[in-house]
Amino acid sequence: MPARTPPFAAFEWQIAWAYLRARRAEGGVSVMTVISLVGVALAVFALIATLAVRSGFRSEFVDTVLGANAHATVYYTSSVTSNGAMSRTIEDFDAVAARLAEVPGVTSTAPLIKGQVMAANQGRNAGVEVFGIRYDDLLAIPRIAHSDRARGDITRFEEGIAIGEGVAREIQAQVGDRIRIISPEGVQTAFGTSPRINTYEVVYIFSAGRYDIDRTRVYLPFTEAQSFFNRDGVADEIEVMLEDPENVDAMTYPLLRAGGERAMIWTWRDSAGSFLRALDIEDNVMFIILSILVLIAAMNIISGLIMLVKNKGRDIGILRTMGLSEGSILRVFFLCGSLIGVVGTGIGVIAGCLFALYIDPIFAFVNTLSGGGAWDASVRGIYALPAELRLTDVLKAVGLSLGLSFIVTIFPARRAARMNPVEALRYE
């Protein structure tokens, strides 16, 4: 009767370690062990690196949306003015902004003038979108007022114009240059509407971190924008900044009630929600695909263990005749496969975390090798490849890899445990 031994006793670990270290000439499968370990490590590395990049891209995208745009925008539906024209402007904009500011959860409100015009400088033109805003309200936009790549003096905003980095590059403008702003809806004359052309000094060049914003946006002082776009005494809309932008859906009804009967609202989720949902779907698909990659890597463990069981048939027979139980044999070969999975997972976790932490120099090296064209901001929207290492992503990768490694190990281990010692020794 085989003696009962405690599970995973010291001798079981010793036997498993000896089998893993054995050379092929000794009946071991060291080459297959290394291949299985490298496969698991690479799969875990790829999974962690991909999850980190996807998390970083999403965080950067959301941060640029929230940091350079209003969390919610209140505008009015069309109404008939005293002269019979249709208008969507807000006449009592200061009063409406004050009511919106009193809503709990609102940090700031800003009346705004918006219009699309042509910017020109030294024979170069670019279509831009003008935001007419007060200086104090401009300071409340973090990605604009506190840009790391900003040039010029934002305190001189009331004396000129602030333009995006992409606009400056397109029309070759620098701080101190005087650029022309051309609007087709200009001065009303007896012969119709003539284009309005004004010249402004560039006092501030900002970078919001988003190519599409930097390439199209400019800011004018609020009163100057009212005059330029024939909006004297009115505003086009009111921007609202919130304490918790993620909770913007719950703020919709209070903001509409404070805005008045004609008020409508457009939130950051309305503008970016479809893209974020697409990112969520892509994240799920990528996780499934990379999980299959981890499974394929774990399947190598089965191949190695099957060869190990075949080569160690004589040893299994001897161990069984010496009194080892089926459970001990099963645990020995389970430890062989599990150790490969654990070590491979550990190496993959370390490599994936290092990749996420040092992605900037790695990306700079790849960009240099590719001649500077590895990342096109006009396509990707943001200027660099970000990575955000999250504990939950690492734990998901570790759990998946270890779980699959343990599961696939059971089958060849059971085969070894059920091997008949008489048959194993018959031809030895």
**Alpha helices in 69-162, H assignment, sequence order:** 93-101, 135-138, 142-145
Q: Are residues 159 and 294 in the same domain?
A: no
Q: Are residues 371 and 248 in the same domain?
A: no
Neighbours of 393 (CB within 10 A): 21
Q: Are residues 321 and 416 in the same domain?
A: yes
- The pLDDT > 70 percentage for the chain reads 81
Q: Are residues 409 and 353 in the same domain?
A: yes
Cα 315 to Cα 310, 330, 425, 428: the distances in Å are 10, 13, 9, 10
Q: Are residues 21 and 82 in the same domain?
A: no
Q: Write the burial class of residue 95 (CB in 10 Å: 0-12 exposed, 13-18 middle, 19+ buried).
A: exposed
C-alpha Rg value of the chain to the nearest Å:
33
Q: Are residues 172 and 105 in the same domain?
A: yes
Q: What is the mean pLDDT of the chain?
A: 82
Q: Are residues 414 and 353 in the same domain?
A: yes
Q: Are residues 34 and 108 in the same domain?
A: no
Distance of alpha carbon 128 from alpha carbon 218, whole angstroms: 7
Residue 71 lies in a domain: no
* Per-residue pLDDT reduced to its tens digit, 130-184: 999 999 999 988 889 888 888 999 999 999 999 999 999 999 999 999 999 998 7
For 295, the domain range is 10-63+275-426
Residue 340 lies in a domain: yes
Q: What residue type is assigned to position 384 of the chain?
A: A
The DSSP H or E segment spanning 106 is strand 106-121
Q: Are residues 421 and 293 in the same domain?
A: yes
Last residue of a domain, one of 261, 289, 311: 261
Query: Greater confidence, 362 or 378?
Result: 362
Whose tokens are 């929230």? That residue is 66
Total domains in the fold of the chain? 2
pLDDT band at 254 (very low <50, low <70, confident <90, very high): very high
* Per-residue pLDDT reduced to its tens digit, 258-276: 988 888 999 988 888 777 8
Distance of alpha carbon 174 from alpha carbon 413, whole angstroms: 71
Distance of alpha carbon 106 from alpha carbon 236, whole angstroms: 20
pLDDT score at 163: 94
Contact 275, 61 (CB under 8 A): yes
> By C-alpha distance, which of 407, 322, 332, 327 is closest to 19?
332
pLDDT at residue 374 is higher than 70: no
Query: Greater confidence, 296 or 303?
Result: 296
Last residue of a domain, one of 229, 261, 293: 261
Query: Greater confidence, 139 or 30?
Result: 139
Residue 267 lies in a domain: no
Q: Are residues 254 and 292 in the same domain?
A: no
Please tell me whether residue 5 adopts helix, strand or coil conformation: coil
Residue 88 lies in a domain: yes
Two tokens, residue 251: 């703020």
pLDDT score at 27: 45
Last residue of a domain, one of 232, 261, 290: 261
Residue 2 lies in a domain: no
Two tokens, residue 421: 């010692």
* Per-residue pLDDT reduced to its tens digit, 236-253: 999 999 999 888 889 999
Residue 96 lies in a domain: yes
Two tokens, residue 273: 């929600």
Q: Could you tell me the end-to-end alpha-carbon distance of the chain, in angstroms, rounded to an integer?
A: 24
Which has the minimum average pLDDT: 263-277, 291-305, 365-379, 395-409?
Answer: 365-379
For residues 269-290, give the mean pLDDT. 83
For residues 90-105, give the mean pLDDT. 92
Q: Are residues 285 and 247 in the same domain?
A: no
pLDDT score at 190: 57
Two tokens, residue 321: 């005749």
Cα 35 to Cα 30, 38, 310, 342, 410: the distances in Å are 9, 5, 18, 14, 19
The DSSP-derived string for 231-263 is -TT-BSEEEEEES-GGGHHHHHHHHHHHH-TTE
Q: Are residues 90 and 213 in the same domain?
A: yes
Contact 36, 300 (CB under 8 A): yes
